[in-house]
């Protein structure tokens, strides 16, 4: 397949922003419950079919979708355990695992869909993207990695009771300044975190300056370090003033509503399909994992410093109907040669993806907060770079191979 000529990386000075949310954000609560249901099915029935969606609002959790399985899942108990694990276990947060209503509205999968999937075809049509670049050790864009790390730091600090006024809900946002495609510094950091009334000033409308500085010193500076921050970096902490009312009390949540947080922070295209609550026969999820696996190994091989992969599927058809590569002008070889090497080293049918990435295991709830990519947690097979060496050997030789090895080691 001859792809269009890739465009060169953007030149000049510009700013790029990405956001993340904590595990207590209402949408992420829903993602974790839905993936918790998927894990519970896979624990006893790895061949189960799951398409689970969750909705949370004030005092209520509704779990729906289509599931076909030989096992039984106590949805009521599971939802309450997830909520308790997240931290919604005290009335001061306005939403409590022990007292909220849990409604189970799950049905069976449509037989019309099943007949196409049973033969190894894709569970739906769609386009899926994967991306990798050399901005971070994780081969991810810097803004989204920093945003995730800030939210994870908020969670770790809350759970360790280092700042005992923190609540489960929260967000981060990071704006990075670039020059000719290279990150220079952080321009702005936004951290909005749920908290108790203990840190409000006398007006009752804003957190105290002491609490603001404590959040900067305890959360932001340890994550960003000294290299990315200068005297012009702006810190916006709870910019509305206070954030006492949070979680499902303040905002409804729905599974699959944080697809850009889940992927690349807006840096790469997104096909539109959400991940959580879907078993891996749904290529919305599994093919995105494979596309990331491919892109990451292409970059890790040294064949390119940036890579976007698109895979496209038709429902009931096993082989992808479209494969597209773009190395954004950074490739040492043409995209069609990269594609040919990838086809020889990676499996791209739904069944092949599931087998290669070991996706019929209860690994999914851990993916449902802090991003699906750029992590080395157990079970994240799509983050391995075990195909980088074969790709390097096949695509590059002589001086190119030496240059690729130098890039990979940098």
- Residue-wise pLDDT for 264-286, tens only, equals 999 999 988 999 999 999 999 99
3-state helix, strand, coil in the chain (%, to 5): 35, 25, 40
- By percentage, how much of the chain surpasses pLDDT 90? 85
d(CA 142, CA 145): 5
Residue 55: the pLDDT is 98
Sign, CA dihedral 26-28-34-37, equals negative
d(CA 163, CA 215): 9
Give the list of residues 6+ apart from residue 275 with CB closer than 8 angstroms, or none: 31, 256, 259, 262, 284, 285, 288, 367, 372
What mean pLDDT is predicted for residues 13-23?
97
Residue 10: the pLDDT is 75
Residue 192: the pLDDT is 97
d(CA 88, CA 352): 39
Give the list of residues 6+ apart from residue 28 with CB closer than 8 angstroms, or none: 21, 22, 253, 258, 368, 369
What mean pLDDT is predicted for residues 64-76?
95
- 150-194 tens-digit pLDDT: 999 999 999 999 999 999 999 999 999 999 999 999 999 999 999
Residue 117: the pLDDT is 58
Per-residue pLDDT for 396 more than 80? yes
pTM of the model: 0.92
d(CA 47, CA 45): 5
User: Assign residue 398 a region: left if phi > 0, alpha if psi is -120 to 50, beta otherwise?
Assistant: left
Residue 360: exposure state from Cβ atoms within 10 A (0-12, 13-18, ≥19): middle
Written as six digits, the tokens of 150 are 């800030």
* Residues forming a β-bridge with 292: none
Question: What are the strands of the beta sheet with 322-326, ordered from one edge?
Answer: 126-133, 306-313, 322-326
DSSP 248-314: GGTS-EETT--HHHHTTTTSS---S---TTB-TTSHHHHHHHHHHHHHHHHHHHTS-SEEEEEEEE-
* Residues forming a β-bridge with 107: 66
Give the list of residues 6+ apart from residue 160 with CB closer than 8 angstroms, or none: none
What mean pLDDT is predicted for residues 58-77?
96
pLDDT bin (cut points 50, 70, 90) of residue 113 is: low
Residue 194: the pLDDT is 95
Per-residue pLDDT for 293 more than 70? yes
């Amino acid at each position: 397949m001859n792809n269009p000529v890739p465009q060169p990386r953007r030149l000049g000075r510009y700013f790029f922003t990405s956001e993340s949310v904590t595990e207590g954000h209402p949408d992420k609560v829903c993602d974790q419950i839905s993936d918790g249901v998927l894990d519970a099915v896979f624990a006893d029935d790895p061949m189960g079919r799951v398409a689970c969606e969750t909705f949370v609002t004030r005092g209520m959790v509704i779990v729906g979708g289509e599931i076909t399985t030989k096992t039984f899942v106590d949805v009521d108990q599971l939802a309450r355990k997830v909520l308790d694990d997240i931290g919604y276990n005290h009335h001061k947060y306005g939403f409590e695992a022990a007292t909220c209503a849990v409604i189970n509205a799950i049905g069976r999968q449509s037989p019309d869909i099943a007949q196409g999937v049973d033969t190894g075809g894709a569970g739906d049509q769609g386009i899926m993207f994967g991306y990798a670049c050399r901005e971070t050790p994780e081969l991810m864009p810097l803004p989204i990695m920093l945003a995730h790390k800030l939210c994870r730091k908020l969670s770790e600090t809350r759970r360790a009771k280092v700042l005992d006024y923190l609540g489960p809900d929260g967000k981060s946002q990071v704006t990075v300044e670039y020059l000719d495609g290279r990150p220079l510094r952080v321009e702005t950091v936004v951290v909005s975190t749920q908290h108790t009334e203990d840190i409000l000033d006398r007006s009752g409308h804003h957190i105290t300056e002491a609490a603001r500085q404590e959040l900067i010193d305890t959360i932001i500076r340890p994550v960003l370090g000294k290299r990315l921050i200068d005297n012009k970096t702006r810190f916006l902490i709870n910019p509305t003033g206070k954030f006492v009312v949070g979680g499902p009390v303040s905002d409804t949540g729905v599974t699959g509503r944080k697809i850009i947080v889940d992927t690349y922070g807006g840096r790469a295209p997104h096909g539109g399909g959400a991940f959580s609550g879907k078993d891996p026969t749904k290529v919305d999820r599994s093919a995105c994992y494979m596309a990331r696996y491919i892109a990451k190994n292409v970059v890790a091989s040294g064949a390119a410093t940036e890579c976007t992969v698109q895979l496209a599927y038709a429902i009931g058809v096993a082989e992808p109907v479209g494969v597209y590569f773009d190395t954004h002008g950074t490739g040492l070889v043409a995209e069609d040669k990269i594609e040919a090497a990838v086809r020889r080293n990676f499996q791209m049918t739904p069944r092949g993806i599931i087998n290669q990435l070991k996706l019929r295991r209860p690994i999914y709830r851990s993916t449902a907060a802090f991003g699906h990519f750029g992590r080395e947690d157990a079970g994240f097979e799509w983050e391995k770079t075990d195909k980088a060496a074969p790709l390097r050997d096949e695509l590059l030789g002589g001086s190119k191979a030496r240059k690729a090895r130098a890039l990979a080691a940098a």
